[in-house]
Structure 1
Amino acid sequence: MIIKQKWNLRKLLVCSKRLYRSQKHLVACGVFVAAFLIIGVYIVTNKEEFADFKKTNIIVKTRLSQSVLEEKGTGCEIPNLDPFSEDAMMFKKEPSKIVCDGTDWVNCYRSKCMVDRDILKTMKDVECTYRDIIYVNDSYYYLGEAVVVKEAESYALNKSDHVKVSCTGTDINGLGLISSTWSSYKAGFRHIPLPVRPDLKDAYNVLFLAFDSISHNGFIRSMPKSYQYLIEDLDAVFLNGHSIVGDGTPAALFPILTGRDELEHPDTRKTLAKDQFLDHRTFIFNHVKENGYRTAYFEDMPWIGTFQYRFNGFRHQPADHYLRAFFTEEAKSRRKWWGGISDKHCLGAVPMYQFMLDLTEQFFSLDGKKFAFTFISDVTHDDFNMISNADDAFLRLLMNMVVKKLFEDTLVIVMGDHGTRFASIRNTYQGRIEERLPLMAIILPERLQKLRPEALKALKYNKDVLTTHFDIYPTVLDVLDMKKLSNTYKVPGSDLPRAMTLLEKIPKFRTCGEAGVLPHWCVCTKWYNVSRTNPFYEQVAKVLARYIDGISDEKRDKCAMRKLVSIEWVLQQSPNDGLLKFSASKEVHSYLGNPVKPSVRAPNEYYQTKIVMSPGNAVFEGTMIFNVKSNNFYITERDISRINE
């Protein structure tokens, strides 16, 4: 490769000399040469940046097994974080309002597209040209032949769910000398016949409503109306101990949609396997389709697609209704990043999030049993504060679902793939923890709740134990009576399956290792011994001793002064150091960790100590909080116990 690199460089220098002879190309030449050299260095070294799937998978399994052996039976204590803490609210900003201008001339409902009635009231000689956006694979699509439709005539979606449409017309009150034009992209649902399946009459629908980069606490802060409605009106169960199992969106969606992590799939990364594609048959869409379901997978922002940014994507679309080709074509016309809020977040006259929610709601008006996964990134990925724009729209969708009685027979999962990964809040202790605790709220079908009350009871029990994205796959299969497809893999040394249905009680003694969570992603707190050389060792013990002695201050004439005789031990509660120091600069770090940064210090530190005091060699244990900012300890009588007579 190095020899070839030099030969290319020689050719490049010849080319650059030719460019240099033209003064107007001087700057272009410099940029071109610099870019080539940077790319060249990257080509030579890039193999070091990427993990070997087979070797990495072996290392991951070994580390998980070691974690199981070290921690088996200890369980998991989830950090209790205040969503509205000072650290969190420092980064809560009022977002820019998304306002989309103009009026859409054409709307599509199900398989029919036609000009809006209000447009026909103000325009005449309206003529629209439709071109189907036809999917081939995740990297290629094409536009169908142009079809002209006039006035109130409709266009039928047959070859595709999506169209590129442009219209012309003149003002109905004008002289007809000046015409108006409009163009955009529209989506509906072409007719796909389903097999007659009487046995599915009592089966349940499934709806995932997912947001990119939204943590459990972030949703509470930024979507207060929706959160309150989910809790109070829909009795949604929010999983307080739900953990990610890896870095980024693929590490969330692979387990949820296939029951396996990405290392357990064939290597289809663009950098190392250009002709390998993801097998759509391994995804849950295909499993439920084979059982007679209608399926949909809606995801926006195609340039960072979950299965296309690092991977080659699918050769065959994974679901009946799929937006990959639509958004890839639509992205060509949008100025996005340099066009301001409207260009970046609008699709025609509606916000992108509204388009996604509307299409999802429309999907559930189709016939047959339905399975949908809607993943919204546009309003969350780059600025976690922007999701507040969608609060009212999301609330309306939930209310509409109640009116349409969809909750009677639909499993609804409202989720995030992970918390914020790149914003400044992640540099704080709370941000580190929140990244690893994504939003996960589950609403069981009302009919299932009546038929299986023990399932709802188990789900509510599990809200405060360690759960992961691996558990969502078997939970969905459980609801659909398809448990035979569950992945029964156990981490070596574990007595528990890595993935467990949430409709059965998960043991509280479950550890990160047993659940398939590596140490640098594990949020479970543990008590660590404080070294005798650590200044806090004596300081914590003395604080407890002074407090105990101070309790009897008012009765000093009757009570002897207590003094510290010895310190038995001092413990500090903290997540593992690998989590606090974790920083990923290479792909392999997202699997194996890279503890190179200084630990992020929590605003409040928890300590326990056991001391012996005179008179009487009284033995006390106490727990206290040390506030880093104020440099003060906080303790109450309820935090102290005497453990001898």
Structure 2
Amino acid sequence: MDVQHMINTPGCRIPVAMVNYKKPHKNRKRGYCGYRAVFLEREDIDKVRVVIKEKSIKKYLKRGKKYHCCYRFFQRSTKPGHEHRSLRFSKCTKIHDRETINLEQDFINVQCFENSNYNQTHRIYDDVYAFCKKIKVKNATTCGKQYNVLLIGMDSMSLSRFVQTMTRTAKFVYDKFWPNYRGYHKVGDNTFPNLMAALTGHNISSIMKSCSGRMDQCNNKLIWSIYKNSGYVTAYGEDHLRLPDIFSKDYSFRKSPTDHYMRPFFLKEEIEINNHSLLCAGKISSGQQLLDYAINFVLTYKDDPFFGFFWMNSFSHNMNNHPEDADRMFEDFFNRLYYTGAFDNTFIIFLSDHGIRFGENRILVESYYDDRLPLLYIWPPTTFKMNYPDKLKSLLINQFRLITPYDLFDTLFEISKLADCDEVENEAADPNHNSIFSVISPNRTCQDVGIHDKWCSCHNLYPLDAEDAEGIRSVHFAVSHIVSVMQTIKTKRCWSCTHLSLKNVSRIHFYYDKNKINIYFVVAFSMSPMNIFYEATVLHKDSQMYLVGSVSIISPYKGFGDCTIKHEDRIYCVCQKNDNCRLSSIF
């Protein structure tokens, strides 16, 4: 194995560039969501058993000794316009220890109340629980074996960050010989373009044009709808709903996109604690709730074909989060999957969207590569290995080829059609994208697969002195672009953008194009006020300079541009209140 390159092919050479994620956290106390006093245990496919820990519940009592508990189901609101942000609850029904209740819906809220001496009650306990209430699966006509698919994702997890911070999970996948795709490369800046490429096979321009403001009508483009049409039961869950991540704002679903949909569960209650490092949903972490629901989904449909997509933001989205705190949780999750027998007939895909995009690590040149190379592991089912040896061979060879989320979509599409009687055309098919079940050409380049020059990392970066003349010209060119953009930004009434100026140059690197004709400068610098750090790629061609893609902010965004009208303008604006300006009074 080439230890100096992530991949080393004629079309793409990506060097190994490790950001150190093993920094000690002095005196860091792990957060705690509370202690669970009421447990709900799946007893049958449609039965749940209640266990109330008397000693634990008494710790919540404040004055008296009497209490009572009740449960209620909750789901999305059916009120037009409120479906994606409001809930409706059933009547709260009293429960007792060892009682069995019928599972009527997926999500349950348990509340306990203390009974005072004055016939008054106040709530002392509130918790939430998620189960999959089994639905009837519409069987499709098949001519072969249908394989289940389970996608488990973590936000902002490069391969490097994963192996350094989640050592137990990394050892698990290594010991079980999971193929690891070292050349899996992001195709866009943030979560949305990278996951939409994997889930639809389309680029961000196409998605914005056809789906903005009408995501429900676009649901048929998503891979889970393709599986649904092939007779699979589907599920989608994502925690940390306050983040503007996958399906938010103009891309929100008003209707449930899958058979089982976790948004109502996390809409009920998510609380950040411990300096935003832990997100709680009830008495346990949101991440644990997500993985528990995923396991429940797998067990509920163990005899039916299923497709599940579960995305975790809460332990890795930013540098305040600690993936190491989720390490044992993921190790346990994969072990539980293993002992259920799911490994025999389920493709398990463990992936991310990109690496860390903001924070002190992004000042390091190694982070240039780290940001662009998310983790991707794929477990091929035991029976698939026996039935499709040629596809398995390709799966293994492609670990060391340039792979994109578009290829992952084509792979998922092929899995969905393995059991079909007739060949079905992939509507999102592109001759430059390939299923990982076919050997991918070693001559493949970023340009071949639609990775913009801004994001391509198939080159070595060579350092230059921070005072290099051509490098400094590139910095000033990027700064002038930011200033010109800032002058056109529209802000809310009584606000404007403070003038930004260059403060410091952090690093200057360069690389040549494949033919060594044009030179690209990759520069990182800070601007005043607020000490905001940016990264830009500047092309020098025929004595002219051109900005490659957009200028990226690499320091954490802390709300300094919230006065802008357009969301995308906020990273170039430090808001200041205009003197002698008053908002119109309303009488």
- TM-score higher than 0.5 here? yes
Residues 1:215 and 2:154 aligned together? no
Partner Cα distance (1:527, 1:312) in 2 = 36
Distance 1:577 1:104, change over 3 A: farther
Corresponding residue number in structure 2 for 1:293: 232
Residues 1:168 and 2:168 aligned together? no
Residues 1:524 and 2:458 aligned together? yes
Partner Cα distance (2:337, 2:455) in 1 = 35
Corresponding residue number in structure 2 for 1:229: 172
Query: Which of residues 42, 47, 50 is equivalent to 1:115?
Result: 50
8 Å Cα contact 2:69/2:110 also seen in 1: no
Corresponding residue number in structure 1 for 2:299: 365
Corresponding residue number in structure 1 for 2:94: 149
Give TM-score, length-normalised by structure 2. Answer: 0.70
Q: Which moved more, 1:199-208 or 1:428-437?
A: 199-208
Corresponding residue number in structure 2 for 1:250: 192
Alignment of 1:58-97 (within 5 A): 75-81=11-17, 83=18, 88-89=20-21, 93=25, 96-97=29-30
Structure 1 residues 152-190: Cα deviation after superposition (integer angstroms, max 9, x where no partner): 4444343x422333123679xx9x999873112222122
| Aligned partner of residue 520 in structure 1, secondary structure | coil
Corresponding residue number in structure 2 for 1:102: 35
8 Å Cα contact 1:268/1:278 also seen in 2: no
Deviation at 1:215, TM superposition (A): 0.3
Distance 1:579 1:517, change over 3 A: farther
8 Å Cα contact 2:169/2:328 also seen in 1: yes
Alignment of 1:392-411 (within 5 A): 392-411=328-347
**Length, aligned pairs only:** 461
Distance 1:574 1:196, change over 3 A: closer
Deviation at 1:488, TM superposition (A): 5.7
| Aligned partner of residue 393 in structure 2, secondary structure | helix
Point out where structure 2 has 5 or more consecutive residues left out of the alignment.
1-8, 59-65, 470-509, 526-533, 537-546, 555-587
| Aligned partner of residue 470 in structure 1, secondary structure | helix
Partner Cα distance (1:406, 1:596) in 2 = 41
1:287 is aligned with what amino acid? Answer: I
8 Å Cα contact 2:151/2:309 also seen in 1: yes
Corresponding residue number in structure 2 for 1:414: 350
Deviation at 1:446, TM superposition (A): 0.9
* Structure number with higher helix proportion: 1
Corresponding residue number in structure 1 for 2:446: 512
Distance 1:292 1:388, change over 3 A: same
Partner Cα distance (2:461, 2:325) in 1 = 41
| Aligned partner of residue 450 in structure 1, secondary structure | helix
Partner Cα distance (1:265, 1:478) in 2 = 22
8 Å Cα contact 2:49/2:100 also seen in 1: yes
Corresponding residue number in structure 1 for 2:403: 467
Residues 1:593 and 2:549 aligned together? yes
Residues 1:192 and 2:192 aligned together? no
Residues 1:327 and 2:259 aligned together? no
Distance 1:141 1:407, change over 3 A: same
| Aligned partner of residue 251 in structure 1, secondary structure | helix
Distance 1:264 1:179, change over 3 A: closer
Alignment of 1:232-631 (within 5 A): 232=175, 234-267=176-209, 279-331=218-270, 334=271, 336=272, 339-340=273-274, 344-367=278-301, 368-383=304-319, 386-481=322-417, 484-487=424-427, 489-490=429-430, 497-525=431-459, 577=520, 583=534, 593-595=549-551
2:391 is aligned with what amino acid? Answer: A
Q: Which moved more, 1:222-231 or 1:147-156?
A: 147-156
Distance 1:448 1:146, change over 3 A: same
Structure 1 residues 230-270: Cα deviation after superposition (integer angstroms, max 9, x where no partner): 012x211111111000011111110111111221125478x
Partner Cα distance (1:200, 1:329) in 2 = 43
| Aligned partner of residue 32 in structure 2, secondary structure | coil
| Aligned partner of residue 13 in structure 2, secondary structure | coil
Structure 1 residues 547-601: Cα deviation after superposition (integer angstroms, max 9, x where no partner): xxxxxxxxxxxxxxxxxxxxxxxx977997366569589xxxxx97125899xxx
Distance 1:503 1:431, change over 3 A: same
Partner Cα distance (1:98, 1:510) in 2 = 45
Corresponding residue number in structure 2 for 1:562: none
Partner Cα distance (1:350, 1:527) in 2 = 44
Partner Cα distance (1:170, 1:141) in 2 = 30
Residues 1:204 and 2:147 aligned together? yes
Distance 1:377 1:353, change over 3 A: same
Distance 1:579 1:374, change over 3 A: farther
| Aligned partner of residue 116 in structure 1, secondary structure | strand
Tell me the C-alpha RMSD between the 2 structures. 3.8
Structure 1 residues 21-68: Cα deviation after superposition (integer angstroms, max 9, x where no partner): xxxxxxxxxxxxxxxxxxxxxxxxxxxxxxxxxxxxxxxxxxxxxxxx
8 Å Cα contact 2:35/2:283 also seen in 1: yes
Give TM-score, length-normalised by structure 1. Answer: 0.64
Partner Cα distance (1:189, 1:499) in 2 = 35
Q: Which moved more, 1:425-434 or 1:258-267?
A: 258-267
Deviation at 1:507, TM superposition (A): 0.3
Deviation at 1:358, TM superposition (A): 1.1
| Aligned partner of residue 446 in structure 2, secondary structure | coil
Deviation at 1:342, TM superposition (A): 9.0
1:594 is aligned with what amino acid? Answer: S
2:91 is aligned with what amino acid? Answer: A
Distance 1:274 1:296, change over 3 A: closer
8 Å Cα contact 1:211/1:415 also seen in 2: yes
Distance 1:330 1:316, change over 3 A: same
Partner Cα distance (1:90, 1:393) in 2 = 19
Q: Which moved more, 1:404-413 or 1:110-119?
A: 110-119
Partner Cα distance (1:125, 1:201) in 2 = 56
1:593 is aligned with what amino acid? Answer: G
Partner Cα distance (1:224, 1:121) in 2 = 33
1:156 is aligned with what amino acid? Answer: N
Deviation at 1:113, TM superposition (A): 4.3
8 Å Cα contact 2:201/2:428 also seen in 1: no
Structure 1 residues 257-284: Cα deviation after superposition (integer angstroms, max 9, x where no partner): 1111221125478xxx657756212111
Distance 1:421 1:104, change over 3 A: farther
Distance 1:138 1:287, change over 3 A: farther
Distance 1:426 1:310, change over 3 A: farther
Partner Cα distance (1:222, 1:573) in 2 = 34
Partner Cα distance (2:39, 2:194) in 1 = 36
1:500 is aligned with what amino acid? Answer: N
Distance 1:263 1:573, change over 3 A: closer
8 Å Cα contact 2:74/2:109 also seen in 1: yes
Point out where structure 1 has 5 or more consecutive residues left out of the alignment.
1-72, 491-496, 536-570, 586-590, 599-645
Corresponding residue number in structure 2 for 1:65: none
8 Å Cα contact 1:470/1:499 also seen in 2: yes
Deviation at 1:390, TM superposition (A): 0.9
Distance 1:246 1:366, change over 3 A: same
Partner Cα distance (2:441, 2:316) in 1 = 34
